[in-house]
Structure 1
């Protein structure tokens, strides 16, 4: 393996420019940029209901074999789907290059190519999504379900090929404090009529978990409000979010579950007394940074990611009941949306982001995703509006402004 220590901002930008769809893995966090190329080994998928729980063991075995084959400092990169029964897309690349964080010139404007005409098909239709939220609220009235995340998708098809390299650059530039990624997906995930190869691309605001030595960090986000172009209104929305009983309750449900999942692996955990605010270009979020010291150095970042996945931030609580509700209400398979994307090295260090604000793309189409957390007190119209706001991360990077209208 070739690994180069790259500390300069210029070299981080070069890694972004060097990304090639179909042959690269790209992952940029607020602290580092990573570009991997080629495939030295693929992590196998044995199938079965316990496939997800066995994933860290399989990855560790492949990394050990790579090291035994003189593949220096092996790293596994890729994505894990929402449904643990589906095969993860994880590989040990031939080469990997690292640099510091991406930094763009102040005031730099993302390049937006002329917008192609897109046909747009929402799945489900907005009215059906409203009905789905209402169904979930009824379940909460009469059962133990405390939260469920219900999602929507937008299927966009263009007459001209989509420039994924430029889309990735725009996402990175518009979301400098997030986790920008591009992952090759296997051909069998292509939609009917596609060319076969697909790419998972996005800019997530949410870190699932990272490990650096014995230090672990999780940073769940739950509770959201759309940003406003008016500065006074924007600050008012942020202040309201920080005091919202509904959103504070939603956040508390997530933090409780994350702490419960991390506690068996940590000597101690530091949990904030309450959430703070973080923002992206399109959304305000309630955020809590949970840190811990690992009890055993053999616990890898992927072990922690699997223990946490899926958090109530993307699924709900209780988890099994929320998953059953999602299966009953959502009219599509999530695939890698609301899974996790990132990397883990042979020492166990790594970073895993929650796979949100993303799309699955092929040559001429994209399938965008957005979801909202439903808890007691949620209003269907507000949850629909939240998904519309979350679509903007991808739509604005595509040069489509605040939204798109369905076209025949």
Structure 2
């Protein structure tokens, strides 16, 4: 059962540009959502909802609606992300589906040249104003880092991929996304600000995030809702970059013509369009995907756009994310058959990997990405995840290589300079 909504007092004021937002972040209980230097960072907890099970999204959304209805909010900035804001991270599956929605005590944001500070506290408590002038000391790099295979060895995972290919060939399903994990262990607790700074620097066009121990730099926006406009970026179909620009352009052309990757991508776009249809009008689906170039890989990408039915009382960003999860890009097609196969052959609990992570404001606007290129930090242990879309002509060894490429961002971010 979710907790009763607290009564919160929230104040937002415009501030001078605070510089690099990650430099404002203390070393405990932080929240991050950044892309290309803009976004939100926060810390402390004014309120929190823990949710689990199949109803985790609905329970969290109902709690948030109650919090917003009871809150005393003064917002002089009035842009998406100002005012009362919550950050959320959700379990991939409903069992156990451990999830959290948290309201930071302090949020510092920047958007299109406007910067703001939001302080939030339970009614009757004073909200301490943070020092936004003095930057914190640089975080220390992880020391004594070692890595080991996770729930399945490389050989066991490729065998699971071969099993999935056989089941697809038998007509049991069309596509399944199989993930694997790698465990990194340091000699001392890892300061999450270290990998966050490197991810934000090296993957500026991705969304760098941290919520409740889960961090990463996702290239995939599950859903953005902003003043009635709903957008979703679909990524499916991947090829590794070589570092040779001319060769990479040739590889991009190969990816754009690949029947295997185009088929996988079509499944993913179709699943997003079908999920948004009950909530939105005027949907726009481009005729063909484009190739998204990232430092480590290239993806086939499609941006889906629509208009929410009712901008006042319509589905909020979290409810739209719930409708989209799991899309074919992280689960498979048909969804139920794919998720069932994942539980049979993947050999691990995904936790919050490949599930919605992001933020939402009091109007219901917000951004939820898919927790890809991500890891879970617990003291000195970091559990990294990567997944691949498996279709009828997938090659297990090639899929293993693709998963290794997808582990690169977090692996590199954990290393010292």
| 1:352-379 superposed Cα distances (whole Å, 9 cap, x missing partner) | 1110101111221110000100011111
Q: Does 1:213 align with 2:198?
A: no
Q: 1:267 to 1:20 in 2, by over 3 A?
A: same
**Secondary structure of 1:52's match?**
helix
Counterpart among 364, 367, 376 of residue 348 in structure 1: 364
Output the CA distance in 2 between the equivalents of 1:358 and 1:283: 15
1:20 alignment partner, SS class? coil
Once the two structures are TM-superposed, the CA of residue 58 in structure 1 deviates from its matched residue by: 2.7
Q: For the residues of structure 1 that align with 2:47 and 2:158, how far apart are their CA atoms?
A: 44
Give the 3 Å change call, closer, same or farther, for CA 112–173 of structure 1 in structure 2. Answer: farther
Kept after mapping to 2: 8 A contact 1:6/1:12: no
Tell me the residue number matched to 2:107: 96
What is the SS of the residue equivalent to 2:415? coil
Match of 1:61 in 2: 66
C-alpha spacing 1:54/1:119, structure 2 compared with 1 (3 Å): closer
Distance apart, 1:51 and its partner CA: 3.4
Instruction: Label 1:351 to 1:5 Cα distance change in 2 as closer, same or farther (>3 A).
Output: farther
Residues 228-285 of structure 1 show CA distances to partners (whole Å, capped at 9, x for unaligned) of 1222221121111111000000000000010001111112101100100112111101
SS at the partner of 2:56? coil
Aligned to 1:160: 188
> Normalized against structure 1, the TM-score is what?
0.86
Number of equivalences: 374
Q: How far apart in 2 are the matches of 1:226 and 1:131?
A: 22
Relative distance call for 1:257 and 1:393 in structure 2 (3 A) is same
Change (3 A) 1:395 1:44: closer
> Is the 8 Å Cα contact of residues 86 and 359 (structure 2) preserved in structure 1?
yes
Residue in 2 that maps onto 1:139: 167
Q: Distance in 2 between matches of 1:238 and 1:7?
A: 42
Which residue of structure 2 lines up, in the alignment, with residue 300 of structure 1?
Answer: 316
Question: 1:400 and 1:373, CA in 2 relative to 1: closer, same or farther beyond 3 A?
Answer: farther
Residue equivalent to 2:217 = 203
Aligned twin of 1:52? 57
Q: Which stretch shows the higher mean deviation, 122-131 or 28-37?
A: 28-37
Unaligned 5+ residue runs, structure 1? 103-109, 185-198, 402-408
Alignment of 1:4-403 (within 5 A): 4-5=13-14, 8=17, 11-13=18-20, 15-30=21-36, 32-45=38-51, 47-65=52-70, 67=71, 69-70=72-73, 73-85=83-95, 86-100=97-111, 113=141, 116-184=144-212, 199-297=213-311, 298=313, 299-399=315-415
Residue 388 of structure 2 aligns to a residue whose secondary structure is strand
Cα distance in 2, alignment partners of residues 176 and 362 from structure 1: 25
RMSD value over aligned CA atoms?
2.3
CA contact (8 A) 1:148 1:317 kept: yes
Q: C-alpha deviations, 1:59-115, integer Å up to 9, x for none? A: 2123323x1x5586321212111113423111122222211379xxxxxxx999586
What residue number does 2:120 align with?
none
Query: Residue deviations 1:158-202, cap 9 Å, x none?
Result: 223323212110010000001001112xxxxxxxxxxxxxx1111
How many angstroms apart in 2 are the aligned matches of 1:111 and 1:57?
37
Which TM-score applies when normalising by structure 2?
Answer: 0.84
Paired with 2:388 and 2:42, the residues of 1 have a C-alpha distance of 32
Q: Give 3-state SS (helix, strand or coil) of 1:341's partner.
A: strand
Contact 1:3 1:97 in 2 (8 A): no
Give the Cα separation in 1 of the matches to 2:241 and 2:16.
33
Are the equivalent residues in 2 in contact too, given 1:25–1:78 (CA < 8 A)? no
* Aligned residues of 1:301 and 1:349 also touching (Cα < 8 A): yes
Cα pair distance change 1:307/1:119, threshold 3 Å: closer
CA contact (8 A) 1:112 1:397 kept: no
SS of the equivalent of 1:166 reads helix
Q: 1:283 to 1:7 in 2, by over 3 A?
A: farther
| 3-state SS of paired residue (2:269) | helix
Structure 1 133/301 Cα, relative in aligned 2: closer, same or farther at 3 Å?
A: same
- 8 Å CA contact retained: 1:344, 1:351: yes
